[in-house]
């Protein structure tokens, strides 16, 4: 059986729904490079203490934060690689994009749940993590239909 051809400026999904790959590309670039920048800034310890989350220097909370590193690097690696594959007209980009979106949402969910359990509602940590949790939910159903 022949699979339908994939257009790379816009993708026509099997359901007939059209969405902009350009929009997904912007979200991936912002998110994936933002995650990489966050971890570089964290590793270099360049933020002043007033920008760190509450109890940041507590060893348990530092470990909790660093426990996200492998997940976040997987988010960035799969997202950026999916963009590379899409530019090369390789249909596997959709599968990697879906993985990246699911991992991104999971990362945001884990952080939001943690801050909820601690009753810590600092917007400087909630806003980025709600972004990570929610933006993928727009694209995940569309990529699932495309598969």
Q: What is the pLDDT of residue 11?
A: 45
Q: Give the model's pLDDT for residue 16.
A: 36
Q: How far apart are CA 100 and CA 132, in angstroms?
A: 11
**pLDDT tens digits for 113-139?**
999 999 999 998 899 999 999 999 999
Predicted local confidence at residue 20, as pLDDT? 67
Residues of the chain falling short of pLDDT 70: 1-20, 146-147
Sorted by where each begins, the domain ranges of the chain are 12-19+57-146
Give the burial class of 75: count Cβ atoms within 10 A of its Cβ; 0-12 exposed, 13-18 middle, 19 or more buried: buried
Pairing of strands 18-20, 10-12: antiparallel
- Say what the pLDDT of residue 145 is: 74
């Amino acid at each position: 059986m022949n699979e339908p051809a994939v257009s790379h400026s816009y993708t026509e999904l099997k359901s007939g729904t059209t969405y902009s790959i350009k929009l997904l590309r912007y979200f991936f670039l912002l998110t994936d490079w933002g995650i990489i920048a966050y971890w570089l800034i964290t590793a270099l310890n360049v933020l002043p203490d007033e920008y760190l989350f509450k109890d940041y220097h507590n060893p348990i909370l530092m470990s909790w934060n660093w426990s996200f590193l492998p997940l976040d690097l997987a988010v960035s690696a799969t997202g950026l690689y999916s963009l590379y594959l899409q530019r090369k007209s390789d249909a596997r980009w959709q599968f990697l994009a879906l993985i990246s979106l699911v991992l991104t949402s999971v990362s945001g969910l884990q952080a939001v749940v943690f801050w909820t359990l601690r009753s810590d509602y600092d917007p400087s940590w909630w806003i980025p993590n709600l972004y990570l949790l929610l933006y993928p939910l727009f694209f995940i159903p569309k990529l699932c239909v495309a598969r």
